Chain A
Amino acid sequence: MTDTQIEEILRKGPQPAPPVWLLKQLQSEITLAQPGWRAAERPARKRTLRRWLPALAFGLFLLSCLVIVGVQANLVGELKQQNQQLRAAGGELEQLRNQQARHNALEAEREELERLRQESDEVVRLRAEIGQLRGELGDLERLRSENEHLKAAFRRARASAPAVMTAAPAPPPKDEAEACVNNLKQVGLAIRTWALDNQDRYPTDIISCSNELSTVNVLICPGDSGKQQFKNIFWGQFRPEMVSYELSLSGKDESATPEHIIARCPIHQNVLFSDGSVKRGPGNPVPQRSGATNNSP
């Protein structure tokens, strides 16, 4: 059996007849809706919407894509712009680095110049000092020559009147004698202070009173030119033979014998007693001052 035969047979398929009552029944059940545009319009709208829904969805999708593409393009543009700015900033950075290097070099040169200027000022100052020293050297030469002249004059005068010169030796300067008295007073005060701390016993050597004496300078008589070199040394280096004064320290309690001599200046003849008083030498009178007491410590 061929397809055509099959189709032919099928087209003549059974057509069962409906029951006779069906037509009337169907006609009696007709329920038509009242005519009105709203009832028909609403489904038409729905159909229109349904018909256009795929297109609307696709359009919406396309619009979304366009928006996304637009946003991305905008972002890409911004990124490109930032990239260009950063590149430009990179170029400026290189330029700034060069400028900084130049600035550092100039700063170094400026410091070098400043140093040279200071050295130049120092040189100028030293030159001025050299000039001053040269001037002083000239004065010194002049004083030396004057001194030579005076010495020559003195020798001539001495040759002409030797007796006068030997009979009247020049007394030491009064300031030195006064300073010597002050030194002895300070020494006496230091010894008495030391004695107060040591059951009224006096020290056996003056070095023991280093805590009571402010400096070794008071142990050097200003008139003792041979020991002036010890004036500025420290207590640790100071030795008893460096003292200008002749000391007589027994290590005993001397409060009962105030006339006992503790120290004596061989140059000014000033004498320090155990009670702290100082007797001036013959060429060292008491200075005339109002309210001043003689020989008091």
Chain B
Amino acid sequence: MMLLKDEAAELCGRAQNGDFAAASELIALFYQRIFAYLRRLCPNEEDAADLTQRTFSKAWSSLGSFAGRSSFSTWLHGIAYHVYLDWRRSANPAQAQSEEWWRSRAADEPGPDEDAAAREAAEQLYAWVEQLEDGQKQVVHLHYYGDLSLSETAEALGIATSTVKYRLREALEVLRNKAARGTLATERRRL
């Protein structure tokens, strides 16, 4: 991760000096993560790809203002988050990802134990994440799915780190409660 940060910083510096090759390498490094982040938020692949294009377009136009206080990844995720917000406000308000998609994602990438019960639990958990409040859902997406640290998540969302922690705690509590209720219902069905 540290190497990636250093490499990104160097590439960013070169891109700021007009180096297209460096910019191309930056895209190769981050476009998958950005697309995945947006795809988890958007209902279809086309929208996610479109928002990814917009994100990088904004990144190039604002590259001069990037001072390096945060990592390039964080900065890019922040842009993607705002692009997503703009898009959701203008085009698709409150349109969330379908549960089927999440189930299919879980089915595509089963858990480490290859256990059907665990896979089912993961599917259910992903679906519950989508039912969280927007603030909680964003921190879960960036911190857990996007693998950003707490401070990076806070910086990308433009909020305080303590807020990120608080939202994560709340989100985990909600998920834990739902999981407990889901387990109880499963046991009842078995009985």
A residues apposed to B, CB below 8 Å = 1-3, 6-7, 9-19, 22-23, 25-27, 29-35, 39-40, 43-44, 47
Task: Give the docked Cα–Cα distance between A13 and B111 (Å).
Answer: 9
A residues near B183, Cβ cutoff 8 Å = 1
Q: Contacts A6-B125, A9-B121, A47-B65 given: A16-B36 contact, CB under 8 Å?
A: yes
Contact assessment for A19 and B18 in the assembled complex, using a CB-CB cutoff below 8 Å? no
- Cβ-neighbour of A10 out of B23, B49, B63, B145 (below 8 A): B145
B residues near A13, Cβ cutoff 8 Å = 40, 126, 144-145
Task: Give the docked Cα–Cα distance between A238 and B56 (Å).
Answer: 147
Q: Is B122 an interface residue (CB 8 A)?
A: yes
A residues near B61, Cβ cutoff 8 Å = 31, 33
Residue of A nearest to B54 (CB): A29
Q: Is B57 an interface residue (CB 8 A)?
A: yes
Q: Contacts A30-B27, A32-B23 given: A12-B111 contact, CB under 8 Å?
A: yes
Contact assessment for B121 and A1 in the assembled complex, using a CB-CB cutoff below 8 Å? yes
> Could you list 16 examples of A-B contacts with CB < 8 Å?
A1-B179, A6-B175, A9-B125, A15-B109, A16-B35, A16-B40, A16-B45, A18-B35, A19-B49, A23-B27, A23-B28, A30-B56, A32-B15, A32-B63, A33-B18, A43-B64
Residue of A nearest to B143 (CB): A10
Top-5 shortest CB links A-B = A14-B105, A10-B144, A18-B35, A13-B145, A1-B179
Q: Is B133 an interface residue (CB 8 A)?
A: no
A residues near B175, Cβ cutoff 8 Å = 6
Task: Give the docked Cα–Cα distance between A102 and B28 (Å).
Answer: 110
B residues near A35, Cβ cutoff 8 Å = 16-18
Contact assessment for A16 and B126 in the assembled complex, using a CB-CB cutoff below 8 Å? no
Q: Is B164 an interface residue (CB 8 A)?
A: no
Task: Give the docked Cα–Cα distance between A13 and B40 (Å).
Answer: 10
Residue of A nearest to B102 (CB): A14
User: A48 to nearest B CB, angstroms?
Assistant: 10
Contact assessment for B53 and A14 in the assembled complex, using a CB-CB cutoff below 8 Å? no
Contact assessment for B140 and A40 in the assembled complex, using a CB-CB cutoff below 8 Å? no
- Cβ-neighbour of A29 out of B19, B57, B105 (below 8 A): B57
B residues near A34, Cβ cutoff 8 Å = 18
Residue of A nearest to B20 (CB): A30
Task: Give the docked Cα–Cα distance between A253 and B24 (Å).
Answer: 167
Q: Is B166 an interface residue (CB 8 A)?
A: no
A residues near B147, Cβ cutoff 8 Å = 11
Contact assessment for A9 and B27 in the assembled complex, using a CB-CB cutoff below 8 Å? no
Task: Give the docked Cα–Cα distance between A23 and B35 (Å).
Answer: 10
Contact assessment for B105 and A16 in the assembled complex, using a CB-CB cutoff below 8 Å? yes
Q: Contacts A10-B140, A10-B144 given: A32-B53 contact, CB under 8 Å?
A: no
Q: Is B32 an interface residue (CB 8 A)?
A: yes
1/0 per residue, CB under 8 A from A, across B30-74: the answer is 011001100110000100110011001100110111010000000
A residues near B67, Cβ cutoff 8 Å = 44, 47
Task: Give the docked Cα–Cα distance between A32 and B66 (Å).
Answer: 13
Task: Give the docked Cα–Cα distance between A95 and B103 (Å).
Answer: 105
A residues near B57, Cβ cutoff 8 Å = 29, 31
Q: Is B159 an interface residue (CB 8 A)?
A: no
User: A45 to nearest B CB, angstroms?
Assistant: 11
A residues near B48, Cβ cutoff 8 Å = 16, 18
Contact assessment for A12 and B49 in the assembled complex, using a CB-CB cutoff below 8 Å? no
Task: Give the docked Cα–Cα distance between A43 and B18 (Å).
Answer: 17
Contact assessment for A29 and B65 in the assembled complex, using a CB-CB cutoff below 8 Å? no
B residues near A43, Cβ cutoff 8 Å = 64-65
